Amino acid sequence: MNLTLHEIGRAVHATNDFEKYKDLKINKLEFDSRKIESGDVFLPLKGEHDGHDFIKKAFLQGALVTLTQYPLSEENPFLQVADTKVALQGLAHYYLKKENPDVISITGSNGKTTTKDMTAAVLATHYRTYKTQGNNNNEIGLPYTILSMPEDTEKLVLEMGMDRPGDIVFLSELANPKIALITLIGESHLEFFGTRKEIARGKMGITAGLKRENVLVAPADPIIDEFIPEGQKIVRFGKTGADLYVTKLTEHKENLTFETNFFGKSITIPVPGKFNANNAMLAAYVGKLEGVPEGKIHQALSSVQLTKNRTEWLKSVNGVDILSDVYNANPTAMRLILETFQAIERNFGGRKVVVLADMLELGEHSAELHASISAVVQNEKLDKIFLYGPMMKNLAEKLPEALYFTSFDELSQAVQEFIREGDQILIKGSNGMGLAKLVEILTTEEATLL
C-alpha cells in the first residue's frame, strides 16, 4: 500500500494530534485482527462483534497504527475518527485517485462474478490488473479491494453487489469507473426491491460515477431504457441486432464455443452454460476497448479460472459427474443452468439427476417464481429430481414425480443412496441453503453404490 501514516491521518480526517507520531510507510490495511502482520493498519468495524475489542490483539500481532472511534492511551499510535466504516470508504476513494488505475465496474443479477473473472483474465494479458477477491463487492468489501490493490495496478476490475436501493449508486460514486457493465436484470433481491423495474433502477445506479462520455455496456432489455442518463454513451448486447451479440453457439459438457459479431474468430471457454457465452463476450469486448490484441483475448478466455462454486464440474468419489452451481440462485440463473444440463449428452449407461434448493430473497413473488421453474423442466431428459427447502414445495406441486425434502440430512442420504457411477448430477440453490455441504459430502465421502 503506497501510503504513509500521516497521509492516512489526513485522508480520514483524524481528529487527534497524529502529527507527533513518526511518519512511516504502511504495509497494508486489515479489519480482521487475525490477518494483521507487522506494519499493518488495523481498522476496527462494528458488526456482530465490535472490532475495537480486538485493538490490543492487533498491536500484539504487529499493527503499526489503529483507527478508532474512541480515544486511546498513548501506548500505541492511533487515528481517531467519527466512524471507522466511513473512514475506510474515504481512504479507499483517496487511494484510488492517488494510484489512478482504470476502473472497470461490473454488476448484474447473475454472472457478475464470472464476468469479473473473465474480464480480469483478459486485461491481465496486457496490463497489470487487480480484481475483486472472492465476494468483496459491498460497501466494505469494495473499499477493501481498492486498498489491497498493488501499487502498480493499471486496470482494476471491481464487482459491485446490491442488497438495498442506493447500494450501486454509492459504490459507483466511490469508484468512478471508466467502463461500467451490467450483465443481467433478473429477479435477485425482489424481497427488498419489490419489482424487476426497481431492480433495474438499482442496477443502473452504476452510471452515478460514470462520466457520460465513458461507456456503459448493458443488456438490450427495454426495462432499463427509462433509467439511462441523458447523453450517456451506451453499448447494448444480447439479442441479434444489438450492438454486441453471440452467434454460432455450440455447447459441450465442459466447455462451449461461440462467435460474436465483433470478434474475428471463434472463442472456446472451459466452462459450460450458454449464459457464460455472454459473460465471455463482455470480457472480450472490454479487452478490445482497452487495446488488448485479439490473440491475447482468445488465449485468456480459453484458459480462464473462475471463482469457486460458479458452474464447475466436479467428480464424486464414486464416479458421478457433479455440475455444482451452489453459490447463489435466482429464477433466471436456475432456468438457464437447467436448460444447459438437460442439453448435455448423457454418459454411456448413466442417468441425469437434479438437486434444486430454495432461491432466497424473492419476496412476495417467491412462491410463483419457484413454481415457474417447472416450465423448463424436461422430464424425459431427467431420471430423478430432488427438491429441498420450504419454497421448493411450490415447484414440487408442479412436478409430482419429484422427491421433496425439508431436511438436509434426509436429502443428503437420499441423493447418496440414489446416485451411481456414470451419473450426472446438477446441484443448484442459494448459498444460504447449504448445498455446498452436499457437494463436499459427495466429493470427500464414499457415497452408497446401488
Q: Are 148 and 262 within one domain? A: yes
To 5 degrees, how large is the angle CA 309–CA 315–CA 319? 155
pLDDT tens profile 20-79: 999 999 999 999 999 999 999 999 998 888 999 999 999 999 999 999 999 998 888 999
Residue that is last in its domain, among 279, 302, 325:
302
Is 219 a member of any domain? yes
CATH of the domain at 156: 3.40.1190.10
Long-range contacts of 443-447, Cβ-Cβ distance < 8 Å, separation of 24 or more:
443/314, 443/315, 443/316, 443/317, 443/322, 444/317, 445/317, 446/317, 446/318, 447/316, 447/317, 447/318, 447/320, 447/416, 447/419
Contact 115, 181 (CB under 8 A): yes
Q: Are 137 and 243 within one domain? A: yes
Q: Are 77 and 138 within one domain? A: no
List binding-site positions. Answer: 108-114
Q: Are 247 and 378 within one domain? A: no
Is 378 a member of any domain? yes
Is 449 a member of any domain? no
Q: What's the total number of domains in the chain?
A: 3
pLDDT of 332 higher than 90:
no
Of 345 and 119, which is predicted with more confidence? 119
CATH of the domain at 399: 3.90.190.20
pLDDT tens profile 358-387: 999 888 889 999 999 999 999 999 999 999
pLDDT tens profile 154-211: 999 999 999 888 999 999 999 999 999 999 998 776 767 888 899 999 999 999 999 9
71 alpha carbon, distance to own chain's centre: 38
| Average per-residue pLDDT for the chain | 92
Q: Are 77 and 139 within one domain? A: no
List binding-site positions for ATP. Answer: 108-114
pLDDT tens profile 392-448: 999 999 999 999 999 999 999 999 999 999 999 999 999 899 999 999 999 986 555
Is 385 a member of any domain? yes
Residue that is last in its domain, among 302, 326, 356:
302
pLDDT at 417: 94
Q: Are 191 and 284 within one domain? A: yes
With pLDDT > 90 as the criterion, what percentage of the chain qualifies? 78
pLDDT of 226 higher than 90:
yes
Cα–Cα distance for residue pair 438/409, rounded to 1 Å: 9
Q: Are 72 and 120 within one domain? A: no
Strand order, beta sheet including 65-68: 29-30, 41-42, 65-68, 78-80
Is 283 a member of any domain? yes
Cα–Cα distance for residue pair 275/428, rounded to 1 Å: 15
Q: What is the mean pLDDT of residues 281-301?
A: 96
3-state secondary structure of 197: helix
171's enclosing H/E stretch is helix 167-175
Residue that is last in its domain, among 262, 282, 302:
302
Q: Are 289 and 165 within one domain? A: yes
Residue ranges in 39-166 assigned as alpha helix (H): 55-60, 84-99, 112-124, 141-148
Is 277 a member of any domain? yes
Is 350 a member of any domain? yes
Cα–Cα distance for residue pair 97/176, rounded to 1 Å: 9
Q: Are 202 and 155 within one domain? A: yes
Cα–Cα distance for residue pair 359/189, rounded to 1 Å: 10
Q: Are 149 and 244 within one domain? A: yes
Q: Are 357 and 433 within one domain? A: yes
Give the structural domain span for 54: 5-82
Residue 340 CB partners (closer than 8 Å, separation 6+): 251, 272, 273, 274, 275
Cα–Cα distance for residue pair 59/48, rounded to 1 Å: 21
Q: How confident is the model at residue 449 (pLDDT cuts 50, 70, 90)?
A: very low
pLDDT of 10 higher than 60:
yes
3-state secondary structure of 24: coil
Q: Are 136 and 160 within one domain? A: yes
pLDDT at 447: 52
pLDDT at 450: 42
